[in-house]
Amino acid sequence: MSRGRLEAFTDGVIAILITIMILELKVPHGTDWTALSGTVPVLLTYVLSFVYLGIYWSNHHHMLHMTDRVSGGVLWANLHLLFWLSLVPFATSWMGENHYAPVPTALYGAILLLCGFAYFILEKTIIAVQGAGSRLAEAVGSDTKSIFSVALYASAIPLAFLNQTIAHGIYVLVALMWLVPDRRIESRLRRQD
């Protein structure tokens, strides 16, 4: 089974999510700087989610690049990831409009946590299909970076009820940590050339 349609479908869903999220930014009612500056905090939340969706797209791109075979299970693990990613705009809007409310801040972290888990499941499902000695299994290794991210999200959820700024800081930190695409895979690919 080819990976072409899986990539095309995933690209389509992430392209729609990343674009429509920004399109939901409401046009201000006034026409002066005050009206525009009111959209800035909401815009910043959108930038964060844009970066997160970009990270998932970029890492998905790298992971699928090392995937030779796709099974029905991989299709569903991928749809499972897309489901949680599709809730990112919902969590973004809610937190964007209520920056200092604990429940929206915690929900944002919970959705990121579930996206992280779903990505992890997809990775394991793909590796299982490729077989133990596959290039992907080698490149990914023990995946401490993913485990560390999930631990950070998990810590941000209770912290959202104590101090929202710390929780926001953790979300920004994990995004920065992943902004660089998966060097392990890229360096491996370079070694093969």
161 in contact with a second copy (CB under 8 A): no
C-alpha count within 13 angstroms, C-beta hemisphere, residue 53: 29
179 in contact with a second copy (CB under 8 A): yes
Both structure tokens of 138: 């080698």
Contact 189, 65 (CB under 8 A): yes
65 in contact with a second copy (CB under 8 A): yes
Total binding residues toward a second copy, as defined by CB under 8 A? 60
Contact 87, 37 (CB under 8 A): no
**Smallest distance from the beta carbon of 148 to a second copy, in angstroms?**
20
* DSSP 8-class letter at 27: P
8 in contact with a second copy (CB under 8 A): yes
Work out which of 48, 50, 63, 157 binds a second copy, going by CB under 8 A. 50
**Smallest distance from the beta carbon of 4 to a second copy, in angstroms?**
8
Beta-sheet strands, E only, within 25-164: none
25 in contact with a second copy (CB under 8 A): yes
